[in-house]
Structure 1
Amino acid sequence: MNPANLDTILIVGHGSREDSGNQEIREFTEQWRARQPGWRIELCFIEFAPPELNAALLSAGRSSRRVLVVPLILNAAGHVKMEIPEAIEHARIACPQTEYLLAPHLTACDPVLAILKRRLRKAMNVLDMPDPTTTGVVLLGRGSSDRGANGEMAKMARWLLEEGDHELVDLAFTGITWPRLEKVVQRHVLLGMRQIVVLPYYLYTGTLMQRIHRQVEHLRVQYPQIRFACSEHFGFENEIFELMDQRVQDLRAGVPDSRLPCDGCSYREIAHDLGHGHSHAHTHDHAPHDHAHDDGHAHAHDGHDHAHPHAHSESHPA
């Protein structure tokens, strides 16, 4: 039997209080199954919707030789760096006969940039005066207390600037961090922009996408002299399916991943607390720091310099 037939591919979605967003992820799962009929693909959510992450990991582990965990998430904040690895470590203890492999999140990458560029071109086509020199662009994301997650969005904004003709491409967030959309739009108006394109950096709909569209409507009233265009979330773009395909292929091929920075040893210490080793060897020197994740958990790290090689049979996205 092909070893791949013994795999369960477990999509991990964030989950939304607005079920229309969860339903879109369910539809994505159905479409991915149709594209990959030979794969056993299941879905779970971190919060707000069933099936829940921990239960889904255990269910997959009891029926599979190997579970490939693939986050359908754009940026790596507390959920990706902390909650998913922690849940996997618990599942490894409960299902020691099963191998669990974790893929990286979708990340800031060229396929996502291609989606943004296509959305920007479409938005420009609906404007009355599609002049990029007088059209500001605002990349609008969720916002995080994790600087790495915000930095990935900043990278995408910079790439969008460098690969286009727009002289002003800015970053804004719907919550947690700054600047907010209203402040960035105010700046664009003061700098003489005649049109403004808002590009939501979201995979699926939900309460925040609904809020974004309300905000843009309010801005149209506040700045009647400015022409606004607002694109939709990414949804079912071909690049997202191809990225998910690549994540699975990389896990099966044992391709190492270095996209999660070694910037939070608590992520690694989970395994130690549970009596597990894991497959990374690293030496790093951290200054003392505290950081809070989006889930409201605060994690404190003392300054330390340590090297600890670990032998583990499973691949780890370190």
Structure 2
Amino acid sequence: MNSFTDDRHSYAICLIGHGSRDPEGIEEFLTLWKKLRERKICRTTEYGFLEFAKPSVTEALSACHLDGIKYLIILPGILLPGEHSQRDIPNAVGDHPNTHFAEPLGTQPQVMAVCRERIEEAENFSQKSIARSKTLFMTVAHGSHDYNSQVEKSFHLLGEKLGFGKTGIHFAGSSQDSLEESLEKLMPQEFHRVILLPFFLFSGVWVKRVHTLADTLQEKYPNTEFLKASCLKHHEWIVDALVQRAHESISSK
């Protein structure tokens, strides 16, 4: 079957997130789920979390099994491949029949377009006029050894397209340096502005850590402006990217 548009009542989607102790992050996830559900691309769209929040994946899967549902699409509410998408989610789902596992969002064009918008929002928030050629653009993302090079390439292309003087990326969890060390290695004095983009879907520990570091470095380097971009959240283009992943999961079978 190449599409579920003609037989959407036979499909259920389960959007699975990692979960968070941060209420703001959970609320952002729920808003994304509601927007996805409003697209009505299948009969029912449920959600669950791997940890830290309810409902659990098991509870979410139970809610998906309505009369007439034949196929289940597991949709990771996750940006990059890694242990969560490759191990934790399949283990939590188990051996449910007729299950299609979608890929994480990755660096799809829609996702990168949201990143660009978040950068521009941060620039527009500033009262200063600073050329991009005098700006260091720094992305912070979760590290995934199998995917780091592709992510790095995508953000370097974005940085070049936008005309930044320098583009860097720090992979949390897989870099030998701390975020501050990675940043200061890329910060010669000629940069008048630094834009920090947390490449995460939702608010949480790392987003707050990035923004706190920006405030700390602003005090340390008063002649350089530090701008804090928002995480991606529930932008409509993120919803578009999730819908695309859902379609891809069954067209590849």
**Per the shorter chain, which TM-score range?**
0.7 to 0.9
Q: Where does 1:273-312 land on structure 2 (aligned, <5 Å)?
A: none
For the residues of structure 2 that align with 1:105 and 1:189, how far apart are their CA atoms?
Answer: 32
For the residues of structure 2 that align with 1:60 and 1:156, how far apart are their CA atoms?
Answer: 35
Q: Deviations over 1:225-254 (max 9, x none)?
A: 111111111112121011111122333xx3
Q: The residue matched to 1:76 in structure 2 has which SS? A: coil
> Do the aligned partners of 1:195 and 1:228 also contact (CA within 8 Å) in 2?
yes
> Do the aligned partners of 1:57 and 1:91 also contact (CA within 8 Å) in 2?
no
Structure with more relative contact order (C-alpha pairs < 8 Å, separation 6 or more): 2
| 1:60 pairs with one of 49, 60, 64 | 64
Q: Deviations over 1:123-159 (max 9, x none)?
A: 2332513211111000112x33x30243343132222
Q: Cα gap change, 1:117/1:15 in structure 2, threshold over 3 Å: closer, same or farther?
A: same
For the residues of structure 1 that align with 2:203 and 2:237, how far apart are their CA atoms?
Answer: 18
In the TM superposition, what is the alpha-carbon distance from 1:109 to its structure 2 partner? 1.9
Identity of aligned residues (%): 22
Question: Which residue does the alignment assign to 2:75?
Answer: 70
For the residues of structure 2 that align with 1:179 and 1:167, how far apart are their CA atoms?
Answer: 22
Aligned: 1:164 with 2:162: yes
Larger Rg: 1
> Do the aligned partners of 2:25 and 2:203 also contact (CA within 8 Å) in 1?
yes
Question: Which residue does the alignment assign to 2:18?
Answer: 14
Q: The residue matched to 1:160 in structure 2 has which SS? A: helix
| 2:206 pairs with one of 202, 205, 208 | 208
Q: Deviations over 1:248-305 (max 9, x none)?
A: 2333xx322xxxxxxxxxxxxxxxxxxxxxxxxxxxxxxxxxxxxxxxxxxxxxxxxx
For the residues of structure 1 that align with 2:225 and 2:206, how far apart are their CA atoms?
Answer: 22
Root mean square deviation of aligned Cα: 2.1
Number of residue equivalences: 246
> Do the aligned partners of 2:22 and 2:204 also contact (CA within 8 Å) in 1?
yes
In the TM superposition, what is the alpha-carbon distance from 1:50 to its structure 2 partner? 1.2
For the residues of structure 1 that align with 2:61 and 2:54, how far apart are their CA atoms?
Answer: 13
| 1:231 pairs with one of 229, 232, 237 | 229
> Do the aligned partners of 2:119 and 2:197 also contact (CA within 8 Å) in 1?
yes
> Do the aligned partners of 2:10 and 2:42 also contact (CA within 8 Å) in 1?
no
Aligned: 1:42 with 2:46: yes
> Do the aligned partners of 1:127 and 1:229 also contact (CA within 8 Å) in 2?
no
Structure 2: which amino acid aligns with 1:78?
E
In the TM superposition, what is the alpha-carbon distance from 1:51 to its structure 2 partner? 1.3
Aligned: 1:196 with 2:201: no
Question: Which residue does the alignment assign to 2:109?
Answer: 110
Structure 2: which amino acid aligns with 1:109?
Q
For the residues of structure 2 that align with 1:162 and 1:218, how far apart are their CA atoms?
Answer: 27
Question: Which residue does the alignment assign to 1:3?
Answer: 7
For the residues of structure 1 that align with 2:172 and 2:219, how far apart are their CA atoms?
Answer: 19
In the TM superposition, what is the alpha-carbon distance from 1:25 to its structure 2 partner? 0.8
For the residues of structure 2 that align with 1:6 and 1:151, how far apart are their CA atoms?
Answer: 38
Q: The residue matched to 2:251 in structure 1 has which SS? A: coil
Q: Cα gap change, 1:99/1:38 in structure 2, threshold over 3 Å: closer, same or farther?
A: closer
Question: Which residue does the alignment assign to 2:119?
Answer: 120
Give TM-score, length-normalised by structure 1: 0.71
Structure 1: which amino acid aligns with 2:112?
L
Aligned: 1:255 with 2:251: yes
Question: Which residue does the alignment assign to 1:133?
Answer: 133
Give TM-score, length-normalised by structure 2: 0.88
